[in-house]
Amino acid sequence: MNSKKHPKAFENESSIHTDFKENMTYSDYLSLDSILSSQQRLSNHHDEMLFIVIHQVSELWMKLIIHELKAATTAISNGELSSAFKMLARVSKIQSQIIQGWDVLATLTPSEYIEFRDSLGKASGFQSYQYRLIEFALGYKTKHSLEIYKQDEAIYEQLQEALLAPSIYDASIAALHKAGFSIDQDVLERDLTKPYETNESVKLAWKNVYENVDEHWELYELAEKLVDIEDWFQQWRFRHMKTVERIIGFKQGTGGSSGVSYLKRVIDHYFFPELWAIRTLL
């Protein structure tokens, strides 16, 4: 192809800004110097860069998930369900991105990982405080897990605040109550620092919503958005477990957990148990 007949697109864009002595650049806005200098390998192994980048990207996505879940919980509490739907749909899309990250990490072989694994010391994804914040935001509260973070006062206080805050499911159950459904008082006034446990009155309320979709359309849509998030979360857990099994088998995790055995156990945990139970009842 004759390049003279097809000049470069950039050369035709005479209005493109090139002088940034007094103006903020794309790199400045995103703090790219800080972000791109944060991949510090502790070994000389080529594949440690992959390991670091995948986990850093996951943490950035998790930061956005937390941002959206907090806003969605507030919107539900304020009766602004339609606003929450957009945020929850975004969370599901983010989750799909994180899941694909495991496919990239799975290109790391056991022989490659073992070359730099000792460099991690006791550091482990099990210690991710943002992952813990997501669990708390979805209703799985575990006081004992906070022990891991006591050495960092700022993180510990953030987790303590999240432990005491209503989860998105607490807000959703309160929305059922506001809509006139009979919800047991001990659920509405439950200890928010404990994991949510299934309740018959909540199950019957959701069943009614699904049996009368036209009458309770917004609550029905809310329920399906929550199911989407839990579905994606279970897929994330499964891909995590299989990736770990593929790379280290059944070795103990660097953070001291049982590794794959632990990851297999948590796959069966439900954040919103009634929303799954009613599918058998309908």
Is 117 within any annotated ligand binding site? yes
Is 168 within any annotated ligand binding site? no
113 with 43: CB under 8 angstroms? no
Q: How far is CA 108 from the centre of its chain?
A: 23
Q: How far is CA 200 from the centre of its chain?
A: 28
Is 237 within any annotated ligand binding site? no
Gap between the Cα atoms of 241 and 212, Å rounded: 38
167 with 76: CB under 8 angstroms? no
Is 54 within any annotated ligand binding site? yes
Give the tokens for residue 20: 């940034």
Is 156 within any annotated ligand binding site? no
Distances (CA, A) of 4 to 7, 32, 57, 250: 6, 36, 41, 61
Q: What does the DSSP 8-state code read for residue 245?
A: H
Read off the amino acid at residue 262. Y
Is 55 within any annotated ligand binding site? yes
Is 279 within any annotated ligand binding site? no
Is 94 within any annotated ligand binding site? no
Angle at 25 between CA 20 and CA 31, to 5 degrees: 140
CA-nearest of 53, 20, 48 to 37 is 53
Distances (CA, A) of 198 to 101, 183, 235, 246, 271: 32, 12, 22, 34, 9
Is 254 within any annotated ligand binding site? yes
Binding positions for substrate: 51-55, 113, 117, 254
Binding positions: 51-55, 113, 117, 240, 254
Binding positions for heme: 240
